[in-house]
Amino acid sequence: MAIGAAYKGFMDCIRLLLYLDANRGCQDREGCTPLHWAAIKGNLEACTLLLQGSQEGLAVTDNSGLTPAQLASEKNHRKIAFLLGNTRRLHEYRSNRNSCLGKLPKLGLAPVLCCVIVVHLTTYIHSVIMASNLPKLTAGFGILAWLGVFLSSAGLIWFYRCSSKDPGYIKMNVSDHQNLKDEPLLKIEANHPALLAGNWSQLCTTCKIIKPLRAKHCSTCDRCVEQFDHHCPWVSNCVGKKNKWDFFLFIVLEVMAMVITGVVAMTRILTDPMAPAGFSPMFSHASTHHIGALIFLIMDIFYFFGASALVVSQATQISRNITTNEMANIMRYSYLRGADGQLRNPYDHGCWKNCSDFMINGYNEDVPIAEDSANSEETGMIQIPRDSNLQNSNSHAPTDRNGHIAVHVNSSNINAHHGPVHSLVQPR
């Protein structure tokens, strides 16, 4: 069944079969697995779904000795060939647990970032604050100089919290997964509102759960994360509902520290009484007598632009109650569209409420704003009640939140891969 679903490109069937533990490595008479057929048909979404949680089919060859990546390359499906080839190399790299390099992906870049911050801070203290060849600090300016050290050190504490904290992992359904042998179709919560709405994309084939609408399965952590924002390699963790506040506070503190330390370093260099007048002579003097302070200032400016861009991006998204993942997939997720097909964020309660909820609670609740039902009449939508005859079909029709089929009159269909969308219709 998995082979047929992959060949036809029936994504909901593939999700359901994988959720019920279908064998991804099963082969037909030609030696092809579901991944082989998805690669042959050029179905990128099916290939991505079949690779979630398991890469066992990447190295399997058919009767002609070809892997899925080779078949995709033969059919000139370049994106799929790149995806499969790159995933196989990464899988083999991660599987080498005996080498130190094989453990690096799990470890992430958090130790590197921590070392960079510590070295940067040490350079600032040694070459700017305590430099013997620079004028002595006044009391007020000394407080400002050490304030930068304090903010950066506080940022390291929040960095550790963000890196070590649970980002919002959703508990895996291990018990039901073990009991799927006995009446498996009764174990998938068939009365769940998401499934009743036809939204089978909320089935996680790896965690064996029906995940919340804004959750996403992280391929690096191999877990579903509530309000998934992004996986940050620099903190070696996902950023989600439970640690986004820690992540935001970390980058804000570090940016504030960069501003203060940069101003202090520049002031110390410019107010050196031994420095000559003019930019070029002064720069030459600083590079000779204050090389440590000059290097610190250049690196501080470099780090500031990257970190400040991240702060602005995160602050903007918080004010709109939208995640980085949703921004990246805004054209794919149907719940980010209104009845008229226009982009609409149902979780945006206004800048003030979004920011206040985030500052007080540390996260925003997933409470959608009810869309005016009158909008559906203005966009020429006919609502047809659902009945039992509208099941087991080959075509898809978008539905609204009340369980009605929405038929768009004189409008093009909008393909969506995420959100409450699909209702099966059978021609009579």
Q: Are 427 and 392 in contact (CB under 8 A)?
A: no
Residue 54 has pLDDT above 90, yes or no: no
**C-alpha to C-alpha distance for 129 and 260, rounded to whole angstroms:** 12
- pLDDT recorded at residue 26: 84
Is 232 annotated as catalytic? yes
Domains annotated on the chain, with CATH: 2-102 (1.25.40.20), 110-166+241-320 (no CATH), 374-425 (no CATH)
Q: What local confidence, expressed as pLDDT, does residue 309 receive?
A: 96
The rounded percent of the chain whose pLDDT value lies above 90 is 35
Least confident of 160-164, 174-178, 286-290, 308-312: 174-178
Name the active-site residue from 162, 232, 351, 355: 232
Radius of gyration of the chain (CA): 27
Q: Are 413 and 397 in contact (CB under 8 A)?
A: no
Residue 242 has pLDDT above 90, yes or no: yes
What is the band of 228 on the pLDDT scale with cuts at 50, 70, 90?
very high
pLDDT at position 403, please?
44
Task: Tell me the CA distances in angstroms from 205 to 265, 285, 303, 408, one per residue in order.
Answer: 53, 63, 40, 32
8 Å CB contact between 39 and 83: no
C-beta neighbour count of 331 within 10 angstroms: 13
Q: Which carries the bigger pLDDT value, residue 274 or residue 374?
A: 274
Q: In the structure, what pLDDT confidence band is assigned to residue 107 with cuts at 50, 70 and 90?
A: low
Alpha-carbon distances, residue 403 vs 326, 383, 385 (angstroms): 24, 10, 8
In the predicted model, what is the mean pLDDT of the chain? 79
DSSP code string of 284-327 = HHHHHH-HHHHHHHHHHHHHHHHHHHHHHHHHHHHHHT--HHHH
Name which of 307, 428, 322, 317 is nearest 366 in CA terms: 322
Q: Which of 132, 127, 125 has the alpha carbon at shortest distance from 146?
A: 125
Q: How confident is the model at residue 321, as a pLDDT? A: 94
Residues 177, 410: Cα–Cα separation, whole Å = 45
How big is the CA angle at 210 (ends 365 and 319), to the nearest 5 degrees?
Answer: 25
DSSP H/E element including 83: helix 78-95
Mean pLDDT of 63-83: 87
Q: What is the model's pLDDT at position 408?
A: 45
Read off the pLDDT of residues 284-341 as tens digits, 9 standing for 90 and up: 888 888 899 999 999 999 999 999 999 999 999 999 999 999 999 888 888 888 878 7
Check residue 350 and report its DSSP letter: -
Q: Is the pLDDT of residue 68 over 50?
A: yes
Name the band, by pLDDT with cuts 50, 70 and 90, for residue 201.
confident
Alpha-carbon gap, residue 163 to 242, rounded angstroms: 12
- 223 close to 215: Cβ distance less than 8 angstroms: no
More confident residue, 281 or 146: 146
Three-class DSSP category at 408: strand
What span, in angstroms and rounded, lies between the C-alpha atoms of 156 and 140? 25
Q: How many helices (H) and strands (E) does the chain have?
A: 17, 10
Most confident of 83-87, 115-119, 195-199, 211-215: 115-119
Q: How far apart are CA 415 and CA 403, in angstroms?
A: 19
Spatial neighbors of 26 by CB under 8 A, at least 6 apart, are 2, 3, 33, 34
Beta bridge partners of 382: 407
Task: Calculate mean pLDDT across residues 49-61.
Answer: 78
Residue 199, phi-psi category: left (phi > 0), alpha (psi -120 to 50), beta (remainder): beta
| Non-local CB neighbours of 82 within 8 Å, separated by 6+ positions | none
- Average the pLDDT over each of 95-104, 109-118, 310-319 and give the range with the smallest value: 95-104
More confident residue, 356 or 343: 356
Of 119-123, 146-150, 222-226, 268-272, which gets the smallest average pLDDT? 268-272
pLDDT for the residue 219:
82
Q: Mean pLDDT across the stretch 369-388? A: 47
Cα(225)–Cα(233) distance, integer angstroms: 16
pLDDT at 97: 52
